């Protein structure tokens, strides 16, 4: 900013904002546009963009939200034929507008919106016209995605320079609509990010080479399922098989072991007796490069003994479902040097770190960071926005997925998939991020194999879509090269 003339970045931002607005309107000439202008730079961006639209024949009216308004932007708007609405005119104008530009607050806004900003945000969200947010929807914390009180629900968010974490992480992300990035020339001098969203090249799993065999590709051990929850065993094993493991070794009591043998004959199954076990039980399963433990395992003494046996090894381990419930009372088991991946949803994370579930949902970024630091583990927080955190590393935000994945058993598939990637030699944070990406993409492919909208899916549909998800990811890497 110091190297550029005063106002240069704002003009670039306004030009990009006006261009996007022109694209979403059926026609600029004669359209009715309302600008919600706060006193900061985003209000200036909105006013300058409104001036550009007014010069193309739009009827542009501005609402001054507070006691201040960007003087240069206001002068440009008035010179182009726009006008400022008087008190009491804004309700009807917003209701009749074809396009509303939200420039109430900017990326520095924190906490809930106060009057009259909250009222204007509600008016915009309820209006039938298209709502375009400037940089970040007002009421959304740009750094975290928190929403405290009223916030604008945008159809399109035009953000400048770089994506902000609040645009990627719920609940803020659900307010953004389609996010359009406008390059305003910040160049390569941006600071290192503390939140990143993956591209295909960032999640590429290891590819087998000419010298590969089933052992070199990775052997994953799966301890899952019990007499009560047999399906978790089948699904976690399926995720591992379709996740690229060279071999899957599965162990449980007789009934789930038999079901896995029938559904996945390529898996090596071991029947273990009911009841608690010592570390020697793992020797019966055979040699592996990583463990998956927890789905459907039960939370009693038997399940706890198997979890303890796994976590006392020096191998990478993924803990999910019932294993996480046991860990909530046995956090001492996490004192290990080997990589550990935990895959909780918000309720499980609440038990692990003694937090409120609603607080976690409202502040996902804050809590996943806290959990990674407290538990000294890689934490994959599942939910509407999947986040992967590791101490002293940027948080990974998963950009794939669909609400259709919110169905029983899909988490078990994810566990097996990430376990296979761990066994293949990927570092814990990379395996977790890649697993989330591929799992989310498989969910999308399963729900919408053809254009025309999504359909209900089950966990087995996700397993069956994993090979295509791997192919699509590889194709995406090729396009990036």
Same domain, 161 and 240: no
383 in a labelled binding site: yes
The whole-angstrom separation of Cα 326 and Cα 302 is: 11
Interval 70-97 mean pLDDT: 96
**Among 207-216, 258-267, 363-372, the least confident range:** 207-216
141 confidence band (pLDDT: 50, 70, 90): very high
Kindly tell me the burial class for residue 476, based on how many C-beta atoms sit within 10 Å of its own C-beta (0-12, 13-18, 19 or more): middle
Rg of the chain in Å (alpha carbons): 26
Same domain, 90 and 158: yes
- Here the CATH number for the domain that contains residue 335 is 3.40.1190.20
pLDDT at 215: 72
The whole-angstrom separation of Cα 370 and Cα 378 is: 11
pTM reported for the whole predicted model: 0.91
Kindly tell me the burial class for residue 408, based on how many C-beta atoms sit within 10 Å of its own C-beta (0-12, 13-18, 19 or more): exposed
Residue 226's SS3 state is coil
pLDDT at 106: 85
345 in a labelled binding site: yes
Residue ending a domain, among 191, 215, 239, is 191
Is pLDDT of 4 > 80? no
β-strands 378-381, 387-389 pairing: antiparallel
Q: How does pLDDT run across 109-133, given as a tens digit for each residue?
A: 888 899 999 999 999 999 999 999 9
Q: Tell me how many domains the chain contains.
A: 2
Backbone angles phi, psi at 374, to 5 degrees: -70, -40
Cis peptide before 171 (omega within 30 of 0): yes
Same domain, 242 and 128: no
The whole-angstrom separation of Cα 154 and Cα 203 is: 30
Same domain, 454 and 391: yes
Residue ending a domain, among 140, 158, 191, is 191
301 in a labelled binding site: no
2 confidence band (pLDDT: 50, 70, 90): low
The closest of 215, 318, 298 to 252, measured between CA atoms, is: 298
411 in a labelled binding site: yes
Name every residue whose Cβ is closer than 8 Å to that of residue 17 and which is 6 or more positions away in sequence.
Answer: 45, 46, 49, 101, 132, 134, 158, 182
232 in a labelled binding site: yes
Q: What percent of the chain has pLDDT over 90?
A: 85
Same domain, 186 and 223: no
pLDDT at 23: 96
pLDDT at 271: 97
345 confidence band (pLDDT: 50, 70, 90): very high
Same domain, 181 and 284: no
How many Å separate Cα 37 from the centre of its chain?
30
Is pLDDT of 213 > 90? no
- Here the CATH number for the domain that contains residue 30 is 3.40.50.10260
Is pLDDT of 478 > 70? no
Contact 173, 397 (CB under 8 A): no
Cis peptide before 146 (omega within 30 of 0): no
Is pLDDT of 437 > 50? yes
Same domain, 113 and 209: no
Same domain, 69 and 93: yes
Same domain, 250 and 122: no
184 confidence band (pLDDT: 50, 70, 90): confident
Name every residue whose Cβ is closer than 8 Å to that of residue 317 and which is 6 or more positions away in sequence.
Answer: 290, 291, 292, 293, 310, 311, 338, 339, 340, 341
Tell me the C-alpha to C-alpha distance, in Å, between residue 222 and each of 66, 267, 308, 331, 448.
Answer: 59, 10, 14, 21, 30
In which domain, by residue range, is 176 found?
Answer: 8-191
Interval 167-175 mean pLDDT: 96
Is pLDDT of 313 > 70? yes
Is pLDDT of 153 > 50? yes
481 confidence band (pLDDT: 50, 70, 90): very low
Residue ending a domain, among 168, 191, 214, is 191
Residue, of 186 and 244, whose pLDDT is higher: 244
382 in a labelled binding site: yes
Q: Is residue 115 part of a domain?
A: yes
The whole-angstrom separation of Cα 417 and Cα 424 is: 11
Is pLDDT of 187 > 90? no
Q: Is residue 1 part of a domain?
A: no
Is pLDDT of 218 > 70? yes
Same domain, 336 and 368: yes
pLDDT at 6: 66
Q: What percent of the chain has pLDDT over 70?
A: 96
Q: Is residue 293 part of a domain?
A: yes
Locate the DSSP E strands across 192-264. Answer: 195-197, 219-223, 247-252
**Among 35-49, 196-210, 266-280, 307-321, the least confident range:** 196-210
Q: Average pLDDT of the chain?
A: 93
pLDDT at 202: 84
Q: Is residue 3 part of a domain?
A: no
Interval 294-322 mean pLDDT: 97
Q: How does pLDDT run across 386-400, given as a tens digit for each residue?
A: 999 999 999 999 999
Same domain, 294 and 315: yes
Q: Is residue 438 part of a domain?
A: yes
386 in a labelled binding site: yes
Same domain, 98 and 14: yes
pLDDT at 188: 67
């Amino acid at each position: 900013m110091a190297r550029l003339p005063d106002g240069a970045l704002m003009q670039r931002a306004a030009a990009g904002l006006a261009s996007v607005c022109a694209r979403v309107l059926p026609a600029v000439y004669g359209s009715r546009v309302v600008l919600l202008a706060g006193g900061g730079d985003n209000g200036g961006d909105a006013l300058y963009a409104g001036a550009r639209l007014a010069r193309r024949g739009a009827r542009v009216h501005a609402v001054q939200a507070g006691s201040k308004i960007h003087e240069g932007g206001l002068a440009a708007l008035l010179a182009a034929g726009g006008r400022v609405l008087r008190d009491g005119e804004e309700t009807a104008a917003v209701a009749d507008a074809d396009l509303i530009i939200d420039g109430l607050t900017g990326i520095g806004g924190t906490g809930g919106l106060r009057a009259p900003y909250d009222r204007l945000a509600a008016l915009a969200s309820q209006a039938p016209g298209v709502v375009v947010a400037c940089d970040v929807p007002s009421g959304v914390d740009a750094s975290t995605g928190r929403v405290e009180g009223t916030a604008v629900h945008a159809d399109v968010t035009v953000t400048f320079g770089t994506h902000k974490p609040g645009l990627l992480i719920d609940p803020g992300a659900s307010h953004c609509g389609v996010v359009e990035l406008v390059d305003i020339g910040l160049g390569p001098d941006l600071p290192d990010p503390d939140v990143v969203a993956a591209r295909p090249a960032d999640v590429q799993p290891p590819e087998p080479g000419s010298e590969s065999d089933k052992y070199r590709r990775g052997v994953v051990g799966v301890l899952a399922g019990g007499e009560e929850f047999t399906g978790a065993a089948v699904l976690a094993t399926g995720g591992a098989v379709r996740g690229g493991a060279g071999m899957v070794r599965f162990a449980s009591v007789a009934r789930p072991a038999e079901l896995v043998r029938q559904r996945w004959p390529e898996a090596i199954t071991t029947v273990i007796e009911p009841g608690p076990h010592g570390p020697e039980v793992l020797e019966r399963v055979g040699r592996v490069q990583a463990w998956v433990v927890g789905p459907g395992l039960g939370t009693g003494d038997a399940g706890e003994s198997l979890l303890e046996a796994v976590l006392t090894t020096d191998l990478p381990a993924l803990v999910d479902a019932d294993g996480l419930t046991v860990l909530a009372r046995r956090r001492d088991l996490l004192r290990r040097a080997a990589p550990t991946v935990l895959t909780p949803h918000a309720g499980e994370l609440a038990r692990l770190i003694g937090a409120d579930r609603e607080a976690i949902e409202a502040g996902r970024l804050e809590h996943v960071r806290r959990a990674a630091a407290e538990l000294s583990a890689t934490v994959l927080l599942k939910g509407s926005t999947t986040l992967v955190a590791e101490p002293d590393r940027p948080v990974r935000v998963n950009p794939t997925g669909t609400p259709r994945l919110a169905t029983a058993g899909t988490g078990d598939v994810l566990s097996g998939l990430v376990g296979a990637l761990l066994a293949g030699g990927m570092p814990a944070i990379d395996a977790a991020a890649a697993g989330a990406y591929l799992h989310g993409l498989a969910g999308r492919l399963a729900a919408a194999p053809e254009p025309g909208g999504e359909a209900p899916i089950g966990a087995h549909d996700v397993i069956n879509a994993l090979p295509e998800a791997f192919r699509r990811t590889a194709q995406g890497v090729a396009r990036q090269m």
